[in-house]
Amino acid sequence: MSDRSDRPLSDRALGMHRNITRRDFLNGVALTAGAAMMPWHLFAAGDIDPEKSPDYYPPARTGLRGSHAGSFDAAHSLRDGTFWDAAGAPQDTGETYDLVIVGGGISGLSAAHFYRKTAGANARILILDNHDDFGGHAKRNEFQVGKRTLLGYGGTYSIESPEPYSAVAKGVIEELGIEVSSFPKYLDRDLYGSIGRVPKIFFDKETFGSDKLVDDPCPFPGGETYDLAVAGPDAWAHFLAEAPIAEQARKDVSRLCREKKNYLPGLTADQQEARLARISYAHFLTEMAGVHADVIRLYQAISQPLFGVGIEAVAALDAAETGYPGFSGMDVGPEGLSNERKYFFHFPDGNASIARLLVRKLIPDAMPGNAVTDVVTARANYAKLDEKNSALRIRLNSTAVRVKHAGDPLKATEVEVAYARGGKVYTVRGKHTILACWNMMIPYLCEDLPEAQKEALAFATKVPLLYTNVLLRNSSAFQKLVANSVYAPGGYHTHVDLDLPVSIGEYRCSRTPDEPTVVHMSKSPCHAGRPARDQHTAGRIELYNTTFETMERKIREQLARTLGPGGFDPARDILAITVNRWPHGYAYEYSSLWDKFVLEGGETPCEKARKTFGRIAIANCDAGARAYTDEAINQAWRAVGELKS
């Protein structure tokens, strides 16, 4: 990595010495400055309920978040077979519930909501989650600049799905008061256009021979920009003149994006689909569209935000259906819903607002306010989540480690759930249990499950992702460079976006270049050339083994090189960094390229995996092998419906 004078930027120039809210170190793992309040410190000091402290406020923590330190140790130790030796005998809390839910993501919260609707408001429900915050992947990042709060999404970005939302999922969204069709009211659609900011591509020296920011003439779905990813008026001229790739490659890009050509002439639509399902998008581009190798380098990462792998591991049919270039003259492609007709809503903290609205419904005292517009700025009261006298309790920092029927699974009237919290193990009992956690964890929890079901559950390994939010002093460099988003095929983070300008309730997004702003960066730690699931495994290990310090240096370098020509100074302009590390990110979605059963048919692993076992039902979006909020809700609905009466 180097600056424009070809010398590596020193740590000092990058601002690694700056006292931003970020890192301390514990066992080589970087923690935030807020780490002094991290639960394990409090647990260690003998505080059994850190959530009751008035300072307990996870959304404002910076540094390494997502699967944060302290959230996965018990689960990994269980996986490694070392947990029970070290744990000691569980202590019985004496607590009994109608329903114990493992997992406080949108699926677990929805399951509680559905159960209460049939069992009544007095039904006793306990939700356990291993993280210090609720919401699962739907996490909120807060930044404070003086008196102003700025928000970012730490995971789940929006209400949006390639499949239509089911009546059940829509029903929940409506019950929460979210009027999806009202989204345009909150979006300042013309803001970027009016200040002349457009999508860009950053060509890096290591991949393309020189560092250069060029207009993106044909921005693809997959970034986080809704319909604001509109190319600038001179984008094609700029790209064709300036992109540091072979002239033939530039022409090929123009042909792919602008010409309607059928690259499989003589085949029916079904035959085209069948052919494209069996080859990768990279193969399609090289062998059928005959593009120059530089086009592959340029497009390599366009699929990463959506699929978690590069174009060599994505089926050409999936690429066509997503709307990637090259298919407009063929009989395959996206359904082409216009944004007006799309079921889409983006809160400034993403679908964390859905999780927060669900919590408000379940435990009103924990989330002040009563409207969708005020939830965005509401400060959750974590002390209220787990109150002794409340019928519904959410217990954070608690990893379920064993879920077992009290007796014969076919006859038992209760399930015992053991969970680790603050270095100790406790048990509770429930008449029913819903596992709204991650499928691949379930075989370690439920030893009694049939082996074939355990195998099917274990198949659901997740897609690793990094969602980084960086608080900048202002966005003047974006303004000077006329950029609102940057695709960086060779970057550590491949996408750098200013969020959709959404103001809702009392929340005001950044509108002018001199205001502080949050820039969102995303990365899929993929390892091109291997089968998709092997890439995910390698990426997961990479994320667990990379220190925050390394990530911070890469973030600073990348922003310095991309925005430096616009006057950006990483040492001066970066005020805070929150890296949301998701080694277990998206639910794994089946691919015609890698999973034989997609083309051959038959029962899928998720169908085998989600079967209810005695009094234990399985929810979460792995149970539907779809990484979407609607699926998390659908599966919760199914699981609740399958509970034994």
Q: Which is nearer to ligand FAD, 156 or 272 (CB)?
A: 156
Size of residue set near ligand FAD by CB under 6 A: 39
Q: Does 208 bind ligand FAD (CB under 6 A)?
A: no
- Residue 598, SS3 per DSSP: helix
How many whole angstroms separate alpha carbon 280 and alpha carbon 278? 7
The alpha carbon of residue 329 and the mean position of all alpha carbons in its chain are separated, in whole angstroms, by 33
Q: Give the H or E element holding residue 140.
A: strand 140-145
Distance, CA of 552 to CA of 11 (rounded, Å): 11
User: Contacts with ligand FAD in 335-364 (CB under 6 A)?
Assistant: 351
Q: Which residues have CB under 8 Å from 619's CB, separation 6+?
A: 103, 107, 108, 110, 111, 434, 435, 436, 632, 635, 636, 638, 639, 640
Q: How far is the CB of 589 from ligand FAD (least distance, A)?
A: 10
Q: Regarding beta strands 125-128 and 392-395, do their DSSP bridges make them parallel or antiparallel, or are they unpaired? A: parallel
One of 465, 526, 560, 617 touching ligand FAD (CB under 6 A): 465
Give the span between the Cα atoms of 356 and 350, in whole angstroms: 11
DSSP string of 479-516, one letter each residue: HHTTEEEEE-TTSSSSEEEEPP-B-BTTB----STTS-
The distance of closest approach from Cβ of residue 259 to ligand FAD in the complex, given in angstroms and rounded to an integer, is 32
Q: Judged by CB under 6 A, which of 130, 427, 485, 535 binds ligand FAD?
A: 130
Q: Look at residue 57 and give its three-state secondary structure.
A: coil
Of 606, 632, 639, 640, the residue at the interface with ligand FAD (CB under 6 A) is: 632
- The CA distance from 359 to 353, in Å, is 10
The token duo for 80 is 């490694």
CB of 310 to ligand FAD, least distance (A): 17
Q: Does 39 bind ligand FAD (CB under 6 A)?
A: no
Strand positions, DSSP E, 205-300 = 212-215
- 3-state SS, 349-376, equals CCCHHHHHHHHHHHCHHHCCCCCHHHHC
Q: Identify which of residues 280 and 322 has a Cβ nearer to ligand FAD in the complex.
A: 322
Instruction: Name residues contacting ligand FAD, limited to 10-29 (CB under 6 A).
Output: none
* 374-397 burial code (b ≥16 CB/10 A, e <16): bbbbbebbbebbbeeebbbbbbbb
* Closest CB 64 distance from ligand FAD, rounded Å: 14
Binding mask 66-95 for ligand FAD (x = CB under 6 A): ---------x--------------------
Per-residue binding string, ligand FAD, 138-167, x by CB under 6 A, is x----------------xxxx-xx------
Nearer to ligand FAD, 102 or 315 (CB): 102
Give whichever of 79 and 124 is closer to ligand FAD, judged by the CB atom.
Answer: 79
C-beta of 130 vs 484, nearer to ligand FAD = 130
CB 592 within 8 A of CB 598: yes
Q: Which helix (H) or strand (E) holds 297?
A: helix 293-299
Measured from the CB atom, the residue of 103 and 430 that comes closer to ligand FAD is 103
**Which H or E element spans position 175?**
helix 167-175
Task: Write the DSSP symbol of residue 135.
Answer: B
Binder among 468, 510, 562, 620 for ligand FAD (CB under 6 A):
620
Q: Which of 281/438 has CB closer to ligand FAD? A: 438
By the rule CB under 6 A, 107 interacts with ligand FAD: yes
Q: Which residue type occupies 106?
A: I
Strand partners, 517: 472
Residue closer to ligand FAD (CB basis): 79 or 480: 79
Which positions from 394 through 423 interact with ligand FAD, judged by CB under 6 A? 399-400
Q: How far is the CB of 206 from ligand FAD (least distance, A)?
A: 26
CB 443, min distance to ligand FAD, A:
11
In the list 220, 487, 568, 582, the residue contacting ligand FAD (rule: CB under 6 A) is 582
Using CB under 6 A, which of the segments 202-210, 314-322, 366-374, 581-589 binds ligand FAD?
Answer: 581-589
Closest to ligand FAD by CB, 66 vs 232, is 66
Q: Which residues here bind ligand FAD, judged by CB under 6 A? A: 75, 102-108, 128-131, 136-138, 155-158, 160-161, 351, 399-400, 436-438, 441, 465, 467, 582, 585-586, 620-621, 627-629, 632
